[in-house]
Amino acid sequence: MVLHFLIQGRVQGVGFRWYVHREASELDLCGWVRNTEDGEVEVVASGTAEDLTELRASLRRGPRGSRVDRLIEHYLDEREAAGLSSFRIDGAW
């Protein structure tokens, strides 16, 4: 199962990407997280339905200092998972 999430709110400059990386890695998910130019955080994750449900709950919670106003999600075609490897942060310097 592959899900795409877009998280809106106070989600940049608060360690959100690192938080998502830790949570997703603990769940053994494949995929990535990155900031968008619009001030949102984007996540693509592949794993079991149960693990993705846990990730969803973590995304709604967010790290200390963040505020999640909206969580948009949609399913991606299973073929999208083919290019995914261990969870990573895109665009981290």
Catalytic residues: 17, 35
Tell me the CA distances in angstroms from 62 to 27, 65, 84, one per residue in order. Answer: 16, 8, 23
61 vs 29: CA distance, rounded Å: 18
Residues ≥6 apart with Cβ < 8 Å to 57: none
62 vs 56: CA distance, rounded Å: 10
